[in-house]
Amino acid sequence: MRKMGRVVALAFLWGLSFFHEALAADPQEGSGPSHPETWLQPVMPSLVLQDLSGRRVRTAALSGHPLLLLNFMAPWCEPCLKEIPSLLRLTRSADRDIAVVGVLEGPVNPETLKPFLRKSGVSFPLIRDPAMRFSRALGVRGLPSTFLVDSGGHIVSRVSGAVDWNDPRVRRYLKSFISSKAGF
């Protein structure tokens, strides 16, 4: 059991190192860390998807908050379900600085989502990516995957796998990112 805890801690620290690299980069300059996990493209792709009620949502219109967390997930994904409570706590404690939007990957019937929504308690906006165009455009290779997007729509970081978004180290990173952008 101790060994598993160490593995989880090391994996988390490894993920944080990607955040650190991304923070050091200035994506608006067109240069970033050489590691593809932390900087994929300068601007979020502009696509039209749908929310759960069928309304059209332009992905470019999602940015505008100091920090947007785009969390790619699926109802069948256990790590996604485990990550949702920390995303919910983050949205409740971050005021208007951080917005979370869930992106449901693959074909999903809104009616079959009801048990998922009840079980997970998701209260942040969800959009559907049935043809997986958005996830392919961003290079999503596994779930959950989260992209951090600044107010200008620039992708500043990516993390693959479930994260405890309320871990003090992660919260410090998020706050430092928001503070650094406040001066611009």
Compute and round to an integer the Cα radius of gyration of the chain. 16
* Residue range(s) defining the domain that contains residue 142: 2-182
Name the one residue in this structure whose structure tokens are 């996604």.
Answer: 80
Strand partners, 69: 100, 148
Share of the chain above pLDDT 90, in %: 56
Whether residue 39 has pLDDT greater than 70: no
Distance (Å, whole) CA 110 – CA 67: 28
**pLDDT value at residue 172:** 93
* SS3 labels along 114-179: HHHHHHHCCCCCEEEECCCHHHHHHCCCCCCEEEEEECCCEEEEEEECCCCCCCHHHHHHHHHHHH
Distance (Å, whole) CA 166 – CA 170: 7
**pLDDT value at residue 64:** 84
Whether residue 148 has pLDDT greater than 50: yes
pLDDT, average across residues 138-155: 94
Kindly indicate the confidence band of residue 158, based on its pLDDT and cuts at 50, 70 and 90. very high
Q: What is the CATH number of the domain that holds 155?
A: 3.40.30.10
Whether residue 16 has pLDDT greater than 70: no
pLDDT, average across residues 55-64: 92
Whether residue 26 has pLDDT greater than 50: no
Whether residue 28 has pLDDT greater than 50: no
Query: Considering only CA atoms, which of 108, 39, 36, 45 is closest in space to residue 77?
Result: 108
Whether residue 12 has pLDDT greater than 90: no
Task: Give me the number of domains the chain comprises.
Answer: 1
**pLDDT value at residue 29:** 33
**pLDDT value at residue 2:** 59
Q: What pLDDT, in 10s, does the model give residues 75-121?
A: 999 999 999 999 999 999 877 899 999 999 999 887 888 888 888 89
**pLDDT value at residue 63:** 85
Name the one residue in this structure whose structure tokens are 């970081």.
Answer: 157
